[in-house]
Structure 1
Amino acid sequence: MALERTLILVKPDAVQRRLTGEILSRLERKGLKIVGAKMLRITPELSRQHYAEHVEKPFYPDLEGFITSGPVVAVCAEGPGAIAVCRTLMGATNGREAAPGTIRGDYGQSRSMNLIHGSDGPDAAARELKLYFKDEELFAFDKLIEPVLYEAAEA
């Protein structure tokens, strides 16, 4: 399994509900490495870039209104299979349908206000990370506990 990087956004509803620490803690407890993090307010322009495939859809104005409504925490998480691992931790898009034990299953009640965004594949992760982070804002460092998390061949 390849070492991957993925974008995670702790969305405005999660920030308002003070779930940022809980969400980041779940990523770290799973063994993912946080190699970049920042708090920001997504502008309408950044929203249109991020959600380019949805801009012409009828639901987009509500999506933009929500994602620009308050601060988000953007995170670059790294680890073997990080994209799939994060998607599993997030749970189904609709919090009412998400499995217990997932972030959305434990804290979500909405399809729209669903606490967290995670890249859905390697191409999306590469594109999204460039929207939110400059190269110098992402860090490479040894994590001393990696040898007890997974074998070197898995990275």
Structure 2
Amino acid sequence: MSYEKTYIMLKPDAIKRRLMGEIISRIEKKGYHITQAKIMTLDETIIAEHYSHLLDHPFFPKLSAFMTSGPVFAMVVEGENAINGMRQMIGATNVFEAAPGTIRGDYTNNVTENVIHGSDSPENAAIEIARFFG
């Protein structure tokens, strides 16, 4: 096992639905540490950079509109095996495949508005932490 840092973002629907406390509590109860956090509003430029792999998909305009619809809560989460551990807690990106007990499985019923983002690799975690925290 290795000590890792990962980037986690609570999306606008999590903020609007007042799920921040519940999700943060799950992260901390699992034994992970939130070492940096901030509420921020994203613009279309940073959304295009963050989701560059999705720019050519027909759903990208809807995703961009959603992600700029309200504030997000950005976090750096640290701990043993934090990247894979958080991805398991988050659940499948397709919410209809997300298992009960995962964050998406418990709180999401929409593919676009799926409550939370988490880095999927050490390389992407480093890029995303730099992107959102400088």
TM-score, normalised via structure 1 length:
0.83
User: How far does the alpha carbon of each residue in 1:28-84 deviate from its partner, in whole angstroms, 9 at most, with x for none?
Assistant: 100001010000001101101111111222221111111111000000000111010
Q: CA deviation at 1:96?
A: 3.1
Q: What RMSD, in angstroms, separates the aligned Cα atoms of the two structures? A: 0.9
4+ residue runs over 6 A deviation: none
Amino acid in the other structure paired with 2:27? L
Where 1:66 maps in the other structure, the secondary structure is helix
Name the structure 2 match of 1:61.
61
Q: TM-score, normalised by structure 2?
A: 0.96
Within 5 Å, give how 1:1-155 maps onto structure 2. 1-134=1-134
Deviation at 1:100, TM superposition (A): 1.0
Task: State how far apart, in whole Å, the 2-side matches of 1:46 and 1:54 are.
Answer: 13
Q: Name the CA distance, whole Å, in 2 between partners of 1:74 and 1:11.
A: 9
Matched positions, count: 134
* Greater Rg by CA: 1
Between the aligned partners of 2:36 and 2:54, the Cα distance in structure 1 is: 26
Displacement of 1:21 after TM fit? 0.8
Distance, in Å, in 1 between the alignment partners of 2:98 and 2:54 is: 23
> Shift of the alpha carbon at 1:5?
0.5
Q: Distance in 2 between matches of 1:95 and 1:59?
A: 16
1:116-155 Cα shifts (integer Å, max 9, x gaps): 0000111110101111103xxxxxxxxxxxxxxxxxxxxx
The gaps in structure 1 that reach 5 residues or longer are 135-155
CA contact (8 A) 1:90 1:102 kept: yes
Identity fraction in percent: 49
* Gaps in structure 2 of 5+ consecutive residues: none
TM-aligned CA deviation for residue 94 of structure 1? 2.7
3-state SS of 2:83 partner: helix
Q: Is the 8 A contact 1:33 1:79 kept in 2?
A: yes
Per the alignment, in what secondary structure is the counterpart of residue 70 of structure 1? coil
1:4-36: CA deviation from partner (whole Å, max 9, x where unpaired): 101100000010000011111111100001010
